[in-house]
Amino acid sequence: MMPRQSFPYGDDRIEYEILFTPVMRRKVAIHVNPDGSVQVDAPEGEDLPAIHRAVLKRARWIKRHVDESRRQRAQALPRNYRSGESLFYLGRRYQLKVKSQNGHEPTVKLTRGQICVETPSRDPVLIRERLAAWYRSRAADMFERRLNEIAERVLWVGGVPDWRLVRMRKQWGSCSPEGAILLNPHLVKAPRICVDYVICHELCHLQEHNHSPRYYRLLGEVMPGWEAVKTRLDGMAELLLNE
Ligand SMILES: [Zn+2]
């Protein structure tokens, strides 16, 4: 890694790091990481002014992507569970509405455009737990339905396989060598097509316990076009895995 370089853009200054790659690469390649950092891959031996010129040519593109990452991160900051905050459910953004109620337990209702929590106390911990339980029960119903439907189309699975909900910080799902499937309840915040993709991904592992070319051939048969869905889900990970 080279020391950080930077360029001004409007009233912003954007830093980037250069990574020289010994492979036969002829051009400079620029990546904006999900955390908003910028990495520039350059052919070994390329001089710094040439790299800087290549970076400046893409300045607008870089700035747009850096802003987007920052915006997503800002939205992923810890919540306070107050009215007006955004919540996601099946790929749609809902507004949280917190209402007082005299009962003992908070209740959660999904209405048009809103997820409404009626609660005896505005304690954010209580609201968070109640919402997590609500997501979990929605996830349990929905994943079971989708597993049922997809497993029917997939010949090597005899009926719905064993599966469980497990909250994970970095993964949407997994499949053990023994064939036990785990699905992350946070996945119910993502669009339905993304849920299907994760389920297809794990069901294919029942047949191929690896990520070999054979595995990907199988996945392509079960879900043509899965790559675009994965890209979409990856782009939302930080937002949706934040509780
Ligand atoms: Zn996998």
Q: Do the Cβ atoms of 187 and 236 come closer than 8 Å?
A: no
Cα-to-centroid distance, 139 and ligand 1 (Å): 20
200 C-alpha to center of ligand 1: Å? 10
CATH of domain 86-240: 3.30.2010.10
- What single letter denotes the amino acid at residue 153? R
d(CA 7, CA 25): 24
Render pLDDT for 179-202 as a digit per residue (tens, 0 to 9).
899 999 999 999 999 999 999 999
What pairs with residue 130 in β-bridges?
A: none
For 55-100, the pLDDT digits (tens) are: 999 999 999 998 888 777 766 666 789 998 889 999 998 999 999 9
- Ligand 1 mean position to 225 CA, how many Å? 16
Q: Which of these, 152, 139, 135, lies nearest to 200 by C-alpha position?
A: 152
Whole-model pTM: value is: 0.69
CA 153 to ligand 1 centroid distance, Å: 19
Q: How far is the CA of 179 from the centre of ligand 1 (A)?
A: 12
How remote is the CA of residue 211 from the centroid of ligand 1, in Å?
6
Cα 205 to ligand 1 centre (Å): 7
Query: Would you kindly state where each structural domain of the chain is located, as residue ranges?
Result: 5-75, 86-240
Helix (H) or strand (E) holding 39: strand 38-43
Q: 90 CA distance to ligand 1 centroid (A)?
A: 22
Whole-angstrom Cα distance, residue 99 to residue 169? 30
How many Å lie between the centroid of ligand 1 and the Cα of residue 201? 6
Distances (CA, A) of 171 to 76, 109, 233: 17, 27, 11
